[in-house]
Amino acid sequence: MTETPILDIRDLHRDFGGIHALRGVDLRVRRGCITGLIGPNGSGKTTLFQVVSGMDRGASGEVRFDGRPILGLRPSRIYHLGLARTFQLSRVFPGLTVLENLLVAGRPGDRGARERALGLIEKVQLCDHTHVLGSRLSYGQQKLVEFLRVLMRDPALILLDEPAAGVNPTLRQTLWELVRHVNGLGASLLIIEHNMNVIEDLCDEVYVLNEGEVIAQGAFATVRHDPQVPGGLFRPYPQRHRGGAMSPPLLAIRGLEASYGPVQALFGVDLEVAPGEIVAIIGPNGAGKSTVIKSVIGLVRVTGGQVVLEGTDITGIPTHQAPQLGIGYVPQGRIVFSQMTVRENLEMGAFLERDRRLRNRLVASVLDQFPRLAERQHTLAGRLSGGEQQMLAIGRALMMHPRLLILDEPSLGLSPKYVDLIYGQLLDLRGRGHTLLMVEQNAARALELCDRGYALELGRNRYTDTGQALLANGEVRRMYLGGT
Partner 1 sequence: MDLLQPGVLFQLAVGGLLAGALYALLACGLNLVFGVMRVINLAHAELMMIGAFIAWLAWRYAGLHPLLALPLAMLLLYGLGLVLQRLLIERIVEREELTSLLVTYGLSIILVNLGLLVFSADFRAVPTLQGAFYLEGLDLVISKPRAVAGAVSVVLTLAVYAFLRYSRTGKAIRGVSEHPEVAMICGIDVARIRGITFGLAAAMAGAAGVMLSTIYSFSPDTGADFILKCFAVMIIGGMGNFLGALLGGLLLGLAEALVGGVLSTQWAEAVAYLLLVLIVRPTGLLGQADAL
Partner 2 sequence: MRSDLALGALLLALAILAPALVNSYQLSVLLQVLMMIALAQSWNLISGMTGYVSFGHAVFFGVGAYTGALLLLAGVPWWAATAAAALLATALALPVGLLTLRLRGPYFAIALLGLNEVGRMTATLWVGLTQGGDGIALTPALLPPLRTSYYALLGLAALATLGVGAVLGSRFGLELRAIREDEGAAEMVGVNTTRDKILAFVASACLPGAAGALYAFYASYIDPMSVFLPALNIQMVVMVLLGGRGTLWGPVLGATLLMGIRELTWAQFPALHLALLGVLMILVVLFLPDGVVSLRRKRPRPAGRVSEECRERGGAEP
Nearer to partner 2, 157 or 287 (CB): 157
Sheet holding 68-69, edge to edge: 19-29, 7-16, 60-65, 68-69
Q: How many residues does the chain have?
A: 484
CB of 208 to partner 1, least distance (A): 27
- Tell me the C-alpha to C-alpha distance, in Å, between residue 387 and each of 185, 219, 358, 411, 413: 47, 33, 28, 9, 9
Q: Which stretch binds partner 2 (CB under 8 A): 147-155, 195-203, 317-325, 372-380?
A: 147-155
Which one of residues 69, 110, 351, 364 is an interface residue with partner 1 (CB under 8 A)? 351
Radius of gyration, alpha carbons of the chain: 24
User: Out of partner 1, partner 2, none, which partner does residue 314 contact, by CB within 5 to 8 A per kind?
Assistant: none
Interacting span for partner 1 (CB under 8 A) from 193-201, 214-222, 227-235, 322-330: 322-330
Distance CA 73, CA 127 (A): 36
From the list partner 2, partner 1, none, partner contacted by residue 433 (C-beta under 5 to 8 A by kind) = none
Partner interacting with residue 222 (select from partner 2, partner 1, none; CB below 5-8 Å by kind): none
Query: From the list partner 1, partner 2, none, which binds 130 (C-beta under 5 to 8 Å, kind-based)?
Result: partner 2
> Residue 237 or 351: which CB sits closer to partner 1?
351
Instruction: Report if residue 352 touches partner 1, rule: CB under 8 A.
Output: yes
Check binding of 74 to partner 1 (CB under 8 A): yes
Which helix or strand (DSSP H or E) is residue 68 part of?
A: strand 68-69
Select the span of 133-141, 143-151, 161-169, 317-325 touching partner 1 (CB under 8 A): 317-325
Range 86-105, binding partner 2 (CB under 8 A): 87, 91-96, 100, 103-105
The reply on whether position 79 binds partner 1 by CB under 8 A is no
Q: CA 296, CA 457: separation in Å to the nearest integer? A: 18
**Least distance from partner 1 to the Cβ atom of residue 349, Å:** 5
Buried b (16+ CB within 10 A) or exposed e, 7-28: bbbeebbbeeeeeebbeebebb
Q: What is the bridge-based pairing of β-strands 34-38 and 205-210?
A: parallel
One of 158, 269, 400, 414 touching partner 1 (CB under 8 A): 400
Q: Minimal distance in Å, beta carbon 168 to partner 2? A: 22
Q: Among 36, 58, 17, which Cα is nearest to 338's?
A: 17
396 binds partner 1 (CB under 8 A): yes
* Cα gap 312→314, rounded to integer Å: 6
Going across the sheet that includes 435-439, the strands are 327-330, 404-408, 435-439, 278-282, 452-457, 460-466
91 or 478: CB nearest partner 2:
91
Report, in Å, the least distance between residue 55 CB and partner 1: 5
Alpha carbon distance 25, 17 (integer Å): 18
Is residue 249 near partner 1 by the rule CB under 8 A? no
Q: Does 215 bind partner 1 (CB under 8 A)?
A: no
Should residue 55 be labelled a site residue for partner 2 when binding is judged by CB under 8 A? Answer: yes
Say which residues have a Cβ less than 8 Å from residue 181's Cβ, sequence separation at least 6: none
**For residues 232 and 194, what is the distance between their CA atoms, to the nearest angstrom?**
11
CA separation for the pair 166, 169 (Å, rounded):
9
To partner 2, the closest distance from the beta carbon of 123 in angstroms equals 7
E-assigned strands of 202-250?
Answer: 205-210, 213-218
Measured from the CB atom, the residue of 125 and 321 that comes closer to partner 1 is 321
SS3 275: coil
Q: Which amino acid is at 78?
A: I
**The binder of partner 1 chosen from 299, 380, 421, 429 (CB under 8 A):** 299
Select the binding partner of residue 115 from partner 1, partner 2, none (C-beta < 5 to 8 A, by kind): partner 2
Binding residues vs partner 2 (CB under 8 A): 53, 55, 74-77, 79-80, 84-85, 87, 91-96, 100, 103-105, 107-109, 115-116, 118-123, 127-128, 130-131, 149-154
Given the rule CB under 8 A, which residues bind partner 1?
55-58, 74-75, 297, 299, 318-324, 329, 331, 335-340, 344, 347-352, 354, 396-397, 400
